[in-house]
Chains A and B, each alone.
Chain A
Amino acid sequence: TQLLEQSPQFLSIQEGENLTVYCNSSSVFSSLQWYRQEPGEGPVLLVTVVTGGEVKKLKRLTFQFGDARKDSSLHITAAQPGDTGLYLCAGIFGNEKLTFGTGTRLTIIP
């Protein structure tokens, strides 16, 4: 069974600060997706990364896929209250089942 560990589990920071959350696995992903989920709603896809070492930017969010395709990070610059939510990474392994990480619950304090 493939496991995706996310860290930290909870993060609470002031508006304007920077932060990084991590997603790690002992197995190689064929691809990895990042989602954000707000209370009472389903997860919404932010990005998909496929190639080892790939970096993608979405406004103030920067996503990086590890060279060995076993880990990924999400960096947020100048966090805003609208960034508050549950951040989930999800990896596709050889069996093509989408496996979700344990999640990072982010709170941005105005």
Chain B
Amino acid sequence: KAGVTQTPRYLIKTRGQQVTLSCSPISGHRSVSWYQQTPGQGLQFLFEYFSETQRNKGNFPGRFSGRQFSNSRSEMNVSTLELGDSALYLCASSLWTFSNQPQHFGDGTRLSIL
């Protein structure tokens, strides 16, 4: 069974640009969550999508947005990139929305802002 796939694995951008990250969940999983991981702040929740609707949102500025398609694949977009956006962005999928469901993580997209 294929795991969660995130593309690209590595990305280098400059300040002010925008970026789109992609996540393909495990087949049959309907919930996709996004997290930002940095050495200083650890793993922080960005948002969760379930059945194409944003169900939960973390404390991030509006520059961070996402969407989910009918096949459960999800994309995350960050606009007007800042140096502080350099991080590992992780996507996780689960069968159902949170409520004790185990989260299956991809290996992440490492975003570096120059």
Known contacts A42-B107, A42-B108; is-contact A97 B58 (Cβ 8 Å): yes
Can you list, as one digit per residue, whether each of B80-114 has a CB less than 8 Å from chain A (1) or not (0)?
00000000001010000111101111111000000
Cα–Cα distance between A42 and B102 once the two chains are bound (Å):
13
Assess whether A42 is in contact with B98, with CB atoms less than 8 Å apart: no
Number of A residues contacting the other chain (C-beta, 8 Å)? 25
Known contacts A33-B103, A42-B107, A43-B105; is-contact A96 B98 (Cβ 8 Å): yes
Q: Is A79 an interface residue (CB 8 A)?
A: no
- Chain A residues with Cβ under 8 A from B97's Cβ? 96
Q: Is A40 an interface residue (CB 8 A)?
A: yes
- What band does the interface of chain B fall in when counting residues whose beta carbon is under 8 Å from A? 20 to 34
Assess whether A33 is in contact with B56, with CB atoms less than 8 Å apart: no
- Chain A residues with Cβ under 8 A from B58's Cβ? 97
Can you list, as one digit per residue, whether each of A59-103 has a CB less than 8 Å from chain B (1) or not (0)?
000000000000000000000000000001010100111111111
Known contacts A97-B45, A101-B42; is-contact A44 B98 (Cβ 8 Å): no
Known contacts A96-B56, A97-B56; is-contact A45 B44 (Cβ 8 Å): no
Q: Is B76 an interface residue (CB 8 A)?
A: no
Assess whether A98 is in contact with B45, with CB atoms less than 8 Å apart: yes
Assess whether B98 is in contact with A98, with CB atoms less than 8 Å apart: yes
Minimal Cβ-Cβ distance residue in B for A92: B98
- Chain B residues with Cβ under 8 A from A42's Cβ? 4, 90, 92, 105-108
Return A37 CB to nearest CB of chain B, in Å: 8
User: B residues bordering A, Cβ < 8 Å?
Assistant: 4, 33, 35, 42-45, 48, 56, 58-59, 90, 92, 97-100, 102-108
